[in-house]
Chains A and B, each alone.
Chain A
Amino acid sequence: MFEKIWNNHVIHSEEGKPSILYIDLHLVHEVTSPQAFEGLRMNGRKVRRPDLTFATMDHNVPTKDRFNISDPISKQQVDTLTNNCKEFGVKLYDLNTLDQGVVHVMGPELGLTHPGKTIVCGDSHTSTHGAFGALAFGIGTSEVEHVLATQCLQQAKPKTMEVRFVGKRPAGITAKDLILGLIAKYGTDFATGYVIEYTGEAIRGLTMEERMTVCNMSIEGGARAGLIAPDETTFNYLRGREYAPQGADFDRAVEQWKALATDEGAVYDRVVELDVTSLIPQVTWGTSPGMGTDITSTVPYPDQLPTENERKAAEKALEYMDLKPGTPMSEIPIDYVFIGSCTNGRIEDLRAAAKVAAGHKVSPNVTAIVVPGSGRVKLQAEKEGLDKIFTAAGFEWREAGCSMCLAMNPDVLQPGQRCASTSNRNFEGRQGRGGRTHLVSPEMAAAAAIKGKFTDVRNWEFKSEVTV
């Protein structure tokens, strides 16, 4: 599938030089774009295809009083995007529109993400869009400018890897557990230099949103991109969305999209497998997404790890995380819960978390916030009454944005605070200087908020049915 998309977009290639690749969709946000637009201006260049370029603001946006950005530099970044979009004729979903949201939530929601497209954004989690069978990857600021000016990129061809999820997904195991389990097993650089294609029964059984969760974190395994072949699930998701082809066009598109699927017997440069039947809900214990384990397990002993590098890294991580080897994961108390981000800030994620939260109360020691991935997710959740369930349980219901995923807005952990987070990175200081992040699924995060510590959500006592 990767080959087909790649070949379909190469405009020029020469031995020993990177290929020139056409880009079908360019998503833009406020942090990595200002210098790119400035570059265009300095060189008297225009945006070649404003019709293939879409912008939103997400990273800096406050989730409490969004029109009141107190940090003047954050505000300036947001205002600059507004002005740049106006000047260059780029469609912007700003804070006044319902469609504003985390860029990787917004794109699919609008139906902009199609199978077979090449999609880029100045953001590493662009891999999310691979869930539709698109070749989607993150780029740097010079490359943002390059795509704005030429609608192309110079790219060396990556290698391909099949990640095969073997077996049927057990009850209580989420898409987040699939991807966290994969990275815990193979590490954070097993896919460096590769584009992944996810296959297997467990993948086929995922909804579109669950597939996005998996593809989102491809980058945490080092991959440039992660793809899932499109099928009826994909087509059903896209049908009727604003930027999806309409009517007869849609049917013709589906015919083309079906042809993208990987041919029987296709050869990958590398194949790895993960048995999903034995998966258990995952929690990370360290400062890299690969430092994760089962909720039923314990904080590892660094000296039992196989290599010297891993031992050193684990020791350093445990020191930063203030955890003792041998502590059961289910006995780690937490201070904060963040439900949101481009990994787990979609409507299905919020439904799953609300179902756990319904009829319970957040532990008095815990601050818990729910940040919808986009304005549309927020509206839909409110229609379904999820906001009421959350607030009744003591969660704070916020406005859409990246929020505490990277804490560039005012939602920041204090030094030493420990957070159960549905986001994708647990690096030192990611959620605030000295803050400690544990990555989990939305269900696990909601349950942790209520218990005040991590708990196995498979044994959860659901209080009342959430009507959705």
Chain B
Amino acid sequence: MQPFIKETGLVAPVDRVNVDTDAIIPKQFLKRIERSGFGQFLFFEWRWDEKGNEIPEFSLNQPRYKGSSILISRANFGCGSSREHAPWAILDYGFKVVIAPSFADIFYNNCFKNGILPIKLSEEQVEELFQRTNANEGYKLTVDLENKAITDELGLRIEFDLDEHRRQFLLQGLDDIGLTLKHADAISAYEAKHQARLANSF
């Protein structure tokens, strides 16, 4: 996994509460075989109407938000089905950070497995970010994981909280697999000890 240290990028708003994983990536796309390539289906039913025409009102369809890498949204982001395709779609679209007042558990965990930084801020702080994003075309944020701080070019600075275990996880670009592999010797020793059983010869 790519380490996450610092990200400076355009901010895109999705101004809704309870954005669920079905909305993030509808079930007809679960048959795909890649982990990548889900970005084109992100928020599918909000981006396109039944005839396949772009819905211009939806934020991600507006030119000013093209190429953004920081997503801001409202409470309970990522609720619903546990599909890992949801963080895959968000990452593949180009987002590296999601900021919201709260996240659904499984989605929150899945983000870390995929190198996405989900940041919980207070309702007021998120509201402030929405206002600044709307007011300033080309609004950018810098998210600094080493210092746990968010800044903009207008002098805003917000500090955020994150579990230390998870922070290290992202900073070092570790993944669960990498962590488990640190115990490779113990795994090999276990396999040697249980060789007969694993080889089905008892």
| Residues in chain A within 8 A of chain B (CB atoms) | 11-12, 17, 20, 22, 24, 31, 34-35, 38-39, 43, 45, 48-49, 51-52, 60, 71, 73-74, 76-77, 80, 140-142, 145-146, 149-152, 154, 243-245, 249-250, 252-253, 256, 408
Contact = CB atoms under 8 A, between A and B. Distances in A.
B154 interface: no
A252 B35 contact: no
A149 B190 contact: no
Given A52-B198, A76-B33, A245-B202, A11 B190 contact: yes
A446 to B, nearest CB: 31
B32 A73 contact: yes
Given A80-B33, A142-B110, A152 B180 contact: yes
14 contacts: A12-B183, A20-B186, A34-B32, A34-B34, A35-B35, A48-B187, A73-B31, A77-B33, A146-B176, A149-B177, A150-B181, A150-B187, A249-B202, A253-B202
Contacts of B33: 34-35, 38, 76-77, 80
Given A142-B110, A253-B202, A12 B177 contact: no
A45 B177 CA distance: 10
A77 B187 CA distance: 32
Interface of B: 30-36, 82, 84, 88, 110, 113-114, 165, 176-177, 179-181, 183, 186-187, 190-191, 194, 197-198, 200-202
Contacts, number: 92
A256 B35 CA distance: 41
Nearest to A45: B177
Contacts of A146: 176-177, 180
B35 A38 contact: yes
A80 B181 CA distance: 27
A31 B35 CA distance: 12
A253 to B, nearest CB: 4
Contacts of B31: 31, 60, 71, 73-74, 76-77, 408
B199 to A, nearest CB: 8
Given A11-B187, A39-B35, A142 B84 contact: yes
A2 B69 CA distance: 45
Given A12-B183, A141-B84, A142-B84, A249 B176 contact: no
Contact of A152 (B88, B110, B187): B187
Contacts of B114: 142
Nearest to A253: B202
In the A-B complex, the 9 residue pairs with the closest CB atoms:
A34-B33, A35-B35, A73-B31, A252-B202, A253-B202, A80-B33, A150-B180, A142-B113, A249-B202
B187 A22 contact: yes
Contacts of B191: 22, 49, 151
B198 A249 contact: no
Contacts of A77: 31, 33
Contacts of A249: 200-202
Contact of B201 (A60, A151, A245, A408): A245
Contacts of A22: 187, 190-191, 194
A126 to B, nearest CB: 15
A320 B102 CA distance: 31
B31 to A, nearest CB: 4
A154 B179 contact: yes
B183 A20 contact: yes
B2 to A, nearest CB: 11
B69 to A, nearest CB: 21
Given A17-B165, A76-B31, A150-B181, 13 more contacts: A12-B183, A12-B186, A22-B187, A71-B31, A140-B82, A140-B110, A141-B35, A142-B113, A142-B114, A146-B180, A152-B183, A249-B202, A250-B202
Nearest to B36: A38
A60 to B, nearest CB: 8
Q: Most A CB atoms within 10 A — which of B31, B191, B194, B197?
A: B31
Given A73-B32, A256-B202, A145 B82 contact: no
A140 B201 contact: no
Given A52-B198, A152-B187, A249-B200, A31 B180 contact: no
A34 B114 CA distance: 16
A17 B176 CA distance: 12
A246 B202 CA distance: 10
